[in-house]
Amino acid sequence: MHATTATESLTRSVEDYLKAIYRLSPEGRPASTSDIAHLLELSAPSVSGMVKRLSELGLLEHIPYKGVQLTDSGRRAALRMVRRHRLIEVYLVQFLGYPWDAVHVEAERLEHAVSDTLVERMAAALGHPAVDPHGDPIPEADGSIREPACTPLSELDVGDTVEILRVDEREPERLRYLASLGLIPGAVVRVEDRQPFGGPVTVEAAGARQVLGQELAHVVLCGAEGVR
Amino acid sequence: MHATTATESLTRSVEDYLKAIYRLSPEGRPASTSDIAHLLELSAPSVSGMVKRLSELGLLEHIPYKGVQLTDSGRRAALRMVRRHRLIEVYLVQFLGYPWDAVHVEAERLEHAVSDTLVERMAAALGHPAVDPHGDPIPEADGSIREPACTPLSELDVGDTVEILRVDEREPERLRYLASLGLIPGAVVRVEDRQPFGGPVTVEAAGARQVLGQELAHVVLCGAEGVR
DNA sequence: TCTCATGATTAGGCAACCCTAATTCGGGAT
DNA sequence: ATCCCGAATTAGGGTTGCCTAATCATGAGA
């Protein structure tokens, strides 16, 4: 009990690695070093090297040639960064008039610079929001997080009427496009048509019919339960 | 016309050097490398090395064994950081309830992470304030700055009644102490007594008499004109 | 003019991170 | 049981920025 306690004073790039590994290992399944390299846009050897360092720091466990898994300490540090990132995003939208497509980049830098105090003051000013502007849940300060069950729009059946819960996309262009179609968290959409084999999905949203390619439809996550 | 334009993408430590040099060279008088080292708490050789790099970047001019002076480009970059720092301080006080003794440390990290966009949004939300919580003037976005004439409390004469304009101190303990005495920007104080040779100064502030040692008295800067 | 203290610079190293090139491992297909 | 491809790791380098120890310049005073 020491590595499990010290969340502070990690470098910026360590924080980025932890966030990436967290993102790549839902339910704690191991992440591959090449996936990490791809996500962070780094070379594979850079990741191998850093992985060794992180495992020496007790932040993850590494089985060579197999994969990487966060320890409790590592997961806690990762969730701390996720909380910061998402709270900053909400803050920028609510208090500084940022559009939802611009918050990610800004939060990506700020999350490494804010103090815990500042994060909690922002959370309080916002009334402790549960989700960020893209609908992603914000971990609590104690590290707990509740991932709501979601189904991609691309996997719904014709006739389903559902609420959009999350939009798992960060590219500003696409976010602006989705918003222009009314496809934002909270919106209710009905699947009008769906072509097989990853073909386009037609939905009714904001009173208009929209045709979505597979890529975009895959990114729009909806409540599992239908809306009456 | 290249080095004069590119303010972007300087590293954190380059930004810190420029700020330090700016602070050490009022009226463009050259700064010594050892003063820089002292202010940044670095070794002298580290500064020598960085100074060479900065002069290659066209941010300053270095006459070996003499001193260092910012170029226009360097001064612009420095003022950009000062603007960020001071605006962030005001923002933290106004919108997030920070006490004035805590803002410096937080701003010191944030100033390197915020985008120009964010800075200007904060400035707008604040109504484009002219000074930070310590009374230091905030440079305009175009790099202009007006330093009001100030006299340290320690140099006033008995009987002078003046307004406190700035408090040039960052140590939280001392800032809290000064505030507890009512010695904050905007306060009006009267010099009741002053011992010679750097002895204590007695002032009347917030309806009470306060005795200040030389160090503190030197840090409280007052309007040059007396208040009637 | 010469000496020497003080301040500045050069020499030589170290840690964090990144890269490309070369090598090695693991597991499916023959 | 082997071969082999792709994924992963090791080898070897580069940059940024910091440090200590050693050397050197400057200007004040003898």
User: How many beta carbons lie within 10 A of that of residue A32, not counting itself?
Assistant: 16
Q: Which residue of A has its CA nearest to B96?
A: A121
Identify the CATH number of the domain in which residue B182 sits.
2.30.30.90
Where does a domain end: B112, B147, B182?
Answer: B147
**A55 backbone dihedrals φ, ψ, rounded to 5°:** -75, -30
Residue A54's domain comprises 12-74
**Interface residue B118 vs chain A (CB under 8 A):** yes
Residue B47 burial (10 A CB sphere; 0-12, 13-18, 19+): buried
Where does a domain end: B86, B114, B147?
Answer: B147
pLDDT range class, residue A197, cuts 50, 70, 90 = confident
Question: B78 and B133: one domain?
Answer: yes
* pLDDT at residue number B9: 85
Q: Is the pLDDT of residue A6 over 60?
A: no
Report the distance separating Cα B29 and Cα B152, nearest Å.
21
Question: B141 and B62: one domain?
Answer: yes
ipTM of the complex: 0.90
Report the distance separating Cα A36 and Cα A30, nearest Å.
11
Report the distance separating Cα B166 and Cα B223, nearest Å.
9
Q: Is the pLDDT of residue A64 over 80?
A: yes
Mean pLDDT of B12-19: 98
Mutation site for A-interface testing, chosen from B110, B119, B120, B122 by largest number of A Cβ within 10 Å: B110
Q: Is residue A165 part of a domain?
A: yes
CA of B7 to C1' of D15 (A): 21
Higher pLDDT, A116 or A8: A116
Q: Is the pLDDT of residue A93 over 50?
A: yes
Q: Is residue B228 part of a domain?
A: no
Give yes or no for CB of B62 within 7 Å of strand C: yes
Report the distance separating Cα A81 and Cα A78, nearest Å.
5
> What CA–CA distances, in Å, run from A189 to A69, A131, A136, B14, B224?
37, 20, 19, 51, 67
CA of B78 to C1' of D8 (A): 45
CA of A49 to C1' of C17 (A): 9
Question: B5 and B88: one domain?
Answer: yes
pLDDT tens profile B171-212 = 999 999 999 999 999 999 999 999 988 889 999 998 899 999
**Interface residue B92 vs chain A (CB under 8 A):** yes
Question: B52 and B109: one domain?
Answer: yes
Question: B154 and B137: one domain?
Answer: no
CB-nearest to B118 from A96, A115, A122 is: A96
Where does a domain end: B96, B122, B147?
Answer: B147
Q: Which residue of A has its CA nearest to B112?
A: A113
Give yes or no for CB of B48 within 7 Å of strand C: yes
Report the distance separating Cα A189 and Cα A151, nearest Å.
13
CB A67 within 8 A of CB A30: yes
pLDDT range class, residue A3, cuts 50, 70, 90 = very low
CA of A171 to C1' of C21 (A): 34
Q: Is residue A3 part of a domain?
A: no
CA of A10 to C1' of C18 (A): 18
| 3-class secondary-structure state, position A207 | coil
Share of chain A above pLDDT 70, in %: 95
Question: B80 and B97: one domain?
Answer: yes
pLDDT tens profile B35-61 = 999 999 999 999 999 999 999 999 999
Question: B105 and B49: one domain?
Answer: yes
pLDDT range class, residue B95, cuts 50, 70, 90 = very high
CA dihedral B39, B40, B44, B48 (to 10 degrees): -110
Question: B129 and B83: one domain?
Answer: yes
pLDDT tens profile A50-59 = 999 999 999 9
Mean pLDDT of B135-160: 93
Contacts of B95 in chain A (CB under 8 A): 95, 125
Report the distance separating Cα A92 and Cα A86, nearest Å.
10
User: How many beta carbons lie within 10 A of that of residue B119, not counting itself?
Assistant: 20
Nucleotides of C under 7 A from a protein CB: 7-12, 16-22, 25-26
User: Using the beta-carbon criterion (under 8 Å), do A112 and B113 form an inter-chain contact?
Assistant: yes
Mean pLDDT of B101-115: 98
User: Using the beta-carbon criterion (under 8 Å), do A115 and B121 form an inter-chain contact?
Assistant: no
Protein side of the strand D interface (CB < 7 A): A 32-34, 44-45, 47-49, 51-52, 62, 64-65, 67; B 11-14, 16, 41-43, 45-46, 49-50, 53, 64-65
Radius of gyration of chain B from its Cα atoms, rounded to whole angstroms = 19
* pLDDT at residue number B4: 44
- Give the distance from residue B96's alpha carbon to the nearest chain A alpha carbon, in angstroms: 6
Query: How many Å separate Cα A201 from the centre of its chain?
Result: 23
Mean pLDDT of A194-218: 92
Q: Is residue A117 part of a domain?
A: no
- Looking at the 3D structure of chain A, how many domains does it have? 2
**Interface residue A145 vs chain B (CB under 8 A):** no
Identify the CATH number of the domain in which residue A32 sits.
1.10.10.10
Report the distance separating Cα A190 and Cα A157, nearest Å.
9
Q: Is residue A129 part of a domain?
A: no
Q: Is the pLDDT of residue B1 over 50?
A: no
Mutation site for A-interface testing, chosen from B15, B85, B106 by largest number of A Cβ within 10 Å: B106
Question: B82 and B9: one domain?
Answer: yes
Mean pLDDT of B82-88: 98
Question: B158 and B171: one domain?
Answer: yes
Q: Is the pLDDT of residue B25 over 60?
A: yes
**B178 backbone dihedrals φ, ψ, rounded to 5°:** -60, -45
Question: B133 and B164: one domain?
Answer: no
Give yes or no for CB of A9 within 7 Å of strand C: no
Look up residue B32 and give its two tokens: 């010594």
Q: Residue A159 corresponds to which amino acid? A: G
Q: What's the mean pLDDT when you consider all of chain B?
A: 93
3-state per-residue secondary structure call for chain B: CCCCCCCCCCCHHHHHHHHHHHHHCHHHCCECHHHHHHHHCCCHHHHHHHHHHHHHCCCEEEECCCEEEECHHHHHHHHHHHHHHHHHHHHHHHHHCCCCCCHHHHHHHHCCCCCHHHHHHHHHHCCCCCECCCCCECCCCCCCCCCCCEEEHHHCCCCCEEEEEEECCCCHHHHHHHHHCCCCCCCEEEEEEECCCCCCEEEEECCEEEEECHHHHHHEEEECCCCC
* pLDDT at residue number A8: 66
Question: B158 and B96: one domain?
Answer: no
Q: Is residue A26 part of a domain?
A: yes
Q: Is residue A141 part of a domain?
A: no
Task: Estimate the crossing angle of helix A72-96 against helix B116-125, to 10 degrees.
Answer: 50
Report the distance separating Cα B156 and Cα B144, nearest Å.
29
Q: Is the pLDDT of residue A4 over 60?
A: no
* pLDDT at residue number B74: 96
Q: Is residue B98 part of a domain?
A: yes
Report the distance separating Cα B114 and Cα A118, nearest Å.
14
